[in-house]
Amino acid sequence: MKWISKLQVNQVLGGRYRVSQRIGEGGMSYVYVVEDLKLKGKRWAVKETRLLFPGDVAGITAEADMLIQLNHPYLPQIVDFMGPDEDGYMYLFMDYIAGETLAAYFQRMERTLPFEHVLRYALQLCEVLQYLHERKPPIVYRDLKPSNVMMDVHGQIRLIDFGIARQFKPNQEDDTLCLGTVGFAAPEQYAGRQTDARSDLYGLGALLLYLITSGRATKWERDVEDCIPADVPAAFRTVLEQLLQVDSGLRPASALDVHKRFMALGNQSNIITESSSGTRWRGTGTIALTGVDTGTGTTHSAILLAYYLASEKQRIAIIEGIPSQAFRRIHEVYEGGSVEDSDAMFTIRGVDYYPFSHTRNFVSLLHHGYDTLILDLGVSDGGVHEEFLRANLSIIVASGAEWRQPDLIRFAASMSEYRESSRWVYFIPLAASQTIKDVMKATNQSNVHGIPYHSDPFQTMEATSAVLSHIVPLDFVSPQHKKGFGKFLFSRRSRRNVKN
């Protein structure tokens, strides 16, 4: 018989957390939503676990210690830990994820998911498994299944329930316990043999096969391909077959290797692009904006974008990348008068502003805990800023006025020599749909978007947010584009060909 939870609605834990409702339970725990009485409006999830035996305390506290040290977008952030109390009850407080498990979503979709959705989940799972496996020592998750994958409202996953995760010990020949969910666990787990990163890769294969076969298969057996829809590429089937090898030595070498193969498959099949793969920035992401000409609204667009992302609970900094008086004037308007230090950082409505300064070390901002840095690079003058090329997302702001379209056409033509230009995004403020079509045809660019009239960029508007959610989804950039960012950040070389 399962133990009984001690928590009740409206009960207060630790003088700070008021219980709102129970949202789930598993074989070894209950999960509740709690309100934070110190941080008004903030909600957390709390996992209630009970010690069935005195010796369990080491395992439970080890899980908490392990999770507290982890920092990845696809893992829950642990904020507090209490217990055990006199009855052996313990409480682990973490991010509350507004969403549902992949298992619940799968059922709600009548056990049929588009292949491109499955591929996006696969990419995200590869990233988080890679992160865990690269820890010192590596962490083997060991229980990858739909009910342990949470999905938020943006389609971003969180890997939850580390109850049977363990740190890999190279000299240990077998595991003390044979754990894992039947149907998804690797064969070596059933036998109680040593598990390693390749055990998680088997679990990944089992989960993906389960999703694409409408829940009919988790093993690669004879005739299993008859259950796979025709739109699933042969290359994907090949990877699944390799992941699901009984002999762990025949499986792919790492989650990184699998991720690369899935990315290549998605790009070759035009199923995903680098801006819609479902992978997230690691650490701080960067968005750079530059204008085709003066008066196109580059700074306005940068600010508008900053507050859109801030409204989605991201921590944002916007940086003035070229000499300009724009940020100083914004600061003065906000303060209602002149400011003493025009180069100093200031904050307006939760967004941090960094005016241009020759002496500031902007590279350090990559380590200040921001989710995204937005770089306002002013107007291009025949070339592109180094950091425009290095950014996770590069946006060109241009006018849609008919008499100014020749400038945009010349700009697009001159930029075609850059290998990165195929993934650049064009913002055309105030442009009607026909104007967007004309611009796309004249420039031979497909990633062109009209931005609705938005007089106050410091406030979000539903129409603008709807457009930006497709252009700048919150879970979209593959981390390889961040490599090298900051090496030439705002160096003398990078400022060439840029004017006010």
Tell me the DSSP string of 247-275. Answer: SGGGS-S-HHHHHHHHHHHHHHTTS--TT
Q: Give ∠ CA 333-336-341 in degrees, rounded to 5.
A: 75
47 labeled binding residue: yes
Torsion of CA 430, 281, 71, 17, to 10 degrees: 20
Question: Does residue 191 sit in the same domain as residue 336?
Answer: no
The CB density around residue 466, as the number of other CB atoms within 10 Å, is 10
Domain range for 82 is 12-95
Tell whether the model's pLDDT for residue 383 goes beyond 80: no
> Is residue 273, in this structure, part of any structural domain at all?
no
| 295 φ, ψ (degrees, to nearest 5) | 80, 10
Tell whether the model's pLDDT for residue 36 goes beyond 70: yes
CATH of the domain at 159: 1.10.510.10
Beta bridge partners of 380: 498
> Tokens 């409206």 — which residue?
10
> Is residue 7, in this structure, part of any structural domain at all?
no
Question: Does residue 357 sit in the same domain as residue 311?
Answer: yes
Q: What gap in Å lies between CA 427 and CA 4, rounded to an integer? A: 56
Question: Does residue 429 sit in the same domain as residue 298?
Answer: yes
Q: What gap in Å lies between CA 268 and CA 274, rounded to an integer? A: 11
Tell whether the model's pLDDT for residue 163 goes beyond 60: no
pTM for this structure? 0.55
pLDDT of 11: 97
CATH of the domain at 343: 3.40.50.300
Stretch 75-80: mean pLDDT, rounded?
83
Question: Does residue 239 sit in the same domain as residue 255?
Answer: yes
> Is residue 262, in this structure, part of any structural domain at all?
yes
Question: Does residue 81 sit in the same domain as residue 114?
Answer: no
Tell whether the model's pLDDT for residue 239 goes beyond 90: yes
Tell whether the model's pLDDT for residue 458 goes beyond 50: yes
Beta bridge partners of 374: 287, 318
User: pLDDT tens digit string along 345-355?
Assistant: 899 988 999 99
Nearest to 124 by CA among 243, 228, 240, 258: 258
* Position with higher pLDDT, 175 vs 327: 327
Question: Does residue 420 sit in the same domain as residue 383?
Answer: yes
Structure token digits, residue 65:
């210690």
Question: Does residue 253 sit in the same domain as residue 297?
Answer: no
Lowest mean pLDDT among 157-161, 413-417, 474-478: 474-478
Nearest to 226 by CA among 209, 243, 202: 209
Question: Does residue 115 sit in the same domain as residue 153?
Answer: yes
> Is residue 215, in this structure, part of any structural domain at all?
yes
CB 124 within 8 A of CB 74: yes
Question: Does residue 231 sit in the same domain as residue 296?
Answer: no
Residue type, 488: F
SS3 286: strand
pLDDT of 417: 66
> Is residue 242, in this structure, part of any structural domain at all?
yes
* Position with higher pLDDT, 470 vs 437: 437
> Is residue 22, in this structure, part of any structural domain at all?
yes
pLDDT band, residue 441 (cuts 50/70/90): confident
Question: Does residue 173 sit in the same domain as residue 294?
Answer: no
User: pLDDT tens digit string along 124-146?
Assistant: 999 999 999 998 888 889 889 99
Beta bridge partners of 289: 376, 395
Question: Does residue 428 sit in the same domain as residue 492?
Answer: yes
Stretch 244-256: mean pLDDT, rounded?
94
pLDDT of 38: 85
CB 415 within 8 A of CB 424: yes
Domain boundary among 54, 78, 95: 95
> Is residue 319, in this structure, part of any structural domain at all?
yes
How many structural domains does the chain have?
3
Tell whether the model's pLDDT for residue 485 goes beyond 50: no
Question: Does residue 254 sit in the same domain as residue 292?
Answer: no
CB 344 within 8 A of CB 287: no
pLDDT of 65: 75
